[in-house]
Amino acid sequence: QVQLVESGGGSVQSGGSLRLSCAVSGFSYTEYYCLAWFRQGPGKEREGVASIGTICSTAYASAVSGRFTISQDIAKNTLYLQMNFLKPEDTAMYYCAGTRALDGYWPLSPSKYTTWGQGTQVTVSS
């Protein structure tokens, strides 16, 4: 059974940085997969932030492109999201998610992701 556990959230001032981690267990990187970060701000829908995997390209939402970087350390079974130049509008609960098949869906759409972590809160103050 695949499990995802996020960590690294916190409170920072605008312009600061954070690195989120997602520990991945019960998962084989030799198979088809896509891992992604999503976020959900207060009163907002869940939105895709970044994706990486064998069945999806490394992609970013336009709102974070150039500021956030997704990466993975396969040896450590960990997915990362480096967030720089944070803005108050980046305030949200951040989730990592995984799927074995996108079935033609955009990698930053939450529709086809079957496994989700519990989330880690990021708060950016102005």
The secondary structure of 15-70 as a DSSP string is T--EEEEEEEES--TTS--EEEEEEE-TT---EEEEEEESSS--EE-TTTTTTEEE
Longest CA span, the chain: 43
From its phi and psi, is residue 72 left (phi > 0), alpha (psi between -120 and 50) or beta? Answer: beta
Could you tell me whether strands 120-125 and 10-13 are parallel, antiparallel, or unpaired per DSSP bridges?
A: parallel
- pLDDT mean over 87-92: 98
Q: What is the pLDDT of residues 28-87, one digit of tens each?
A: 777 889 999 999 999 999 999 999 999 998 999 999 999 999 999 999 999 999 999 999
Can you tell me the distance from the alpha carbon of 108 to that of 120, in angstroms, rounded to the nearest whole number?
18
- The amino acid occupying position 91 is T
